[in-house]
Structure 1
Amino acid sequence: MGKINWKQKLTSRKFWAAVTGFVTAILMVFKVDEMTIEQVIAIISASSVLIAYIIGEGLVDAARVQTQDNSTDQD
């Protein structure tokens, strides 16, 4: 079994939909009230957007540095 690519997983909408569904089901099993479930899901959703943004910006910055390094090597 190969190594998990966490950058890809954490930026995947399918991954966050699965996390949200799993957490919702667990909270319902433990009879947590609906308002609390909605708040938890809102936090998960907001966190997923923030994590995806941070990773995306990191990848863009890394690509920019790589491009700059390649252009200075050719000079």
Structure 2
Amino acid sequence: MERHLTQMQSAQFSQNEVQMQIMIKQLIYKINMHTILLTIICMLFLLLLLLLQMMMMIVVVNKAVDKDDDDGGGD
């Protein structure tokens, strides 16, 4: 009888262990998905900053050309 009880306890323990492993895998998957989404958002933000910088440079160059001055200091 006692041996049967220990077998049931070990079966229960292994089932809990499997459930824990599944939960850990799901957690890792969620963390990975959030990391990928965060990376994509950061890349889009950096791309936006780059486009903004290019637009500002175009505006500065256009102003320098419109003035026809040589003190613009362009490279």
- The TM-score with structure 1 as length reference comes to 0.56
Structure 1 residues not aligned, in runs of 5+: 1-30
Q: Give the aligned CA root-mean-square deviation in angstroms.
A: 1.4
Q: Which has the larger radius of gyration?
A: 2
| Count of matched residue pairs | 45
Secondary structure of 1:33's aligned partner: helix
What is the rounded CA distance, in whole Å, between the counterparts of 1:37 and 1:50 in structure 2? 20
Q: Which amino acid aligns with 2:38?
A: G
> Is it true that 1:68 corresponds to 2:28 in the alignment?
no
Which residue is equivalent to 1:44? Answer: 24
> Is it true that 1:34 corresponds to 2:14 in the alignment?
yes
Which residue is equivalent to 2:59? Answer: none
What is the rounded CA distance, in whole Å, between the counterparts of 1:33 and 1:65 in structure 2? 48
- The TM-score with structure 2 as length reference comes to 0.56
Question: Relative contact order (C-alpha < 8 Å, sep 6+): which is higher?
Answer: 1
